[in-house]
Amino acid sequence: MTDKEDLYRRLFRTALLIRLVEERIIELYPSDRIQSPVHLSIGQEGVAVGVCDALNRDDLVFATYRSHGFYIAKGGPLGPMFAELYGRLGGISKGKAGSMHLSAPEAGLMGSSAVVASSIPHAVGAALSFKRRGDGRVAVAVFGDGATEEGVYHESLNFAALMKVPVLFICEDNGLAVHSFRHVRQSYRLVEHAATFGIRGRRLEEGWDMLAVRQATLDALAVVRTGVPFVLEIATGRYKEHVGVADDFHFGYRSAVDINAWKARDPLIQERALVAELTPGVEREIATAVAFAEASPAPGRAELLTDVI
Ligand SMILES: Cc1ncc(C[n+]2csc(CCOP(=O)(O)OP(=O)(O)O)c2C)c(N)n1
Ligand SMILES: [Mg+2]
Atom of ligand 1 nearest to the CA of 178: 11
Q: Can you tell me the distance from the alpha carbon of 256 to that of 246, in angstroms, rounded to the nearest whole number?
A: 13
Cβ of 190 less than 6 Å from ligand 1? no
**Closest-lying ligand to the alpha carbon of 112?**
1
**Residue among 38, 46, 37 at smallest CA distance from 18:** 46
- The answer, as to whether pTM is greater than 0.85, is yes
Q: Could you list the pLDDT tens digit for every one of the 309 residues in the chain?
A: 899 999 999 999 999 999 999 999 999 999 999 988 999 999 999 999 999 999 999 999 999 999 999 999 999 999 999 999 999 999 999 999 999 999 999 999 999 999 999 999 999 999 999 999 999 999 999 999 999 999 999 999 999 999 999 999 999 999 999 999 999 999 999 999 999 999 999 999 999 999 999 999 999 999 999 999 999 999 999 999 999 999 999 999 999 998 999 999 999 999 999 999 999 999 999 999 999 999 999 999 999 999 887
**Beta pairing class for 230-235 and 200-204:** parallel
pLDDT score for 8: 98
Q: From atom 11 of ligand 1, which residue's Cα is the shortest distance away?
A: 177
Atom of ligand 1 nearest to the CA of 116: 26
Cβ of 146 less than 6 Å from ligand 1? yes
Cα-to-centroid distance, 269 and ligand 1 (Å):
28
Range of the domain at 81: 3-296
Asked if the structure places residue 289 within a domain, the reply is yes
Give whole-number Cα distances, 222 to 146, 218, 239, 276, in Å: 27, 6, 32, 36
Asked if the structure places residue 301 within a domain, the reply is no
How confident is the model over 270-307, as pLDDT tens digits? 999 999 999 999 999 999 999 999 999 999 999 999 98
Cβ of 233 less than 6 Å from ligand 1? no
**Beta pairing class for 176-177 and 180-181:** antiparallel
Any long-range contacts for 20-24 (C-beta under 8 Å, 24+ apart)?
20/279, 20/282, 20/283, 20/286, 21/68, 21/72, 21/78, 21/81, 21/286, 21/289, 22/68, 24/286, 24/290
Cβ of 97 less than 6 Å from ligand 1? no
Atom of ligand 1 nearest to the CA of 148: 15
Give whole-number Cα distances, 71 to 49, 78, 165, 304, in Å: 10, 9, 24, 25
Contact 117, 104 (CB under 8 A): no
| Total structural domains within the chain | 1
Cβ of 115 less than 6 Å from ligand 1? yes
Asked if the structure places residue 24 within a domain, the reply is yes
Asked if the structure places residue 122 within a domain, the reply is yes
Asked if the structure places residue 194 within a domain, the reply is yes
**Beta pairing class for 180-181 and 200-204:** unpaired
Asked if the structure places residue 113 within a domain, the reply is yes
Asked if the structure places residue 306 within a domain, the reply is no
- Which residues 6+ apart lie within 8 Å of 214 measured at CB? 11, 49, 50, 51, 53, 54
Asked if the structure places residue 309 within a domain, the reply is no
pLDDT score for 35: 87
Cα-to-centroid distance, 81 and ligand 2 (Å):
23
Q: From atom 23 of ligand 1, which residue's Cα is the shortest distance away?
A: 177
Contact 140, 55 (CB under 8 A): yes
Collapsing DSSP states into helix, strand and coil, what is residue 222?
helix
**Residue among 57, 87, 55, 82 at smallest CA distance from 68:** 82
254 HSE (CA, 13 A, CB side): 23
**Complete DSSP assignment for 147-210:** GGGSHHHHHHHHHHHHHT--EEEEEEE-SEETTEEGGGT-SS-HHHHHHTTT-EEEEES-TT-H
Atom of ligand 1 nearest to the CA of 238: 20
Whichever domain contains 238, its CATH number is 3.40.50.970
Contact 199, 157 (CB under 8 A): yes
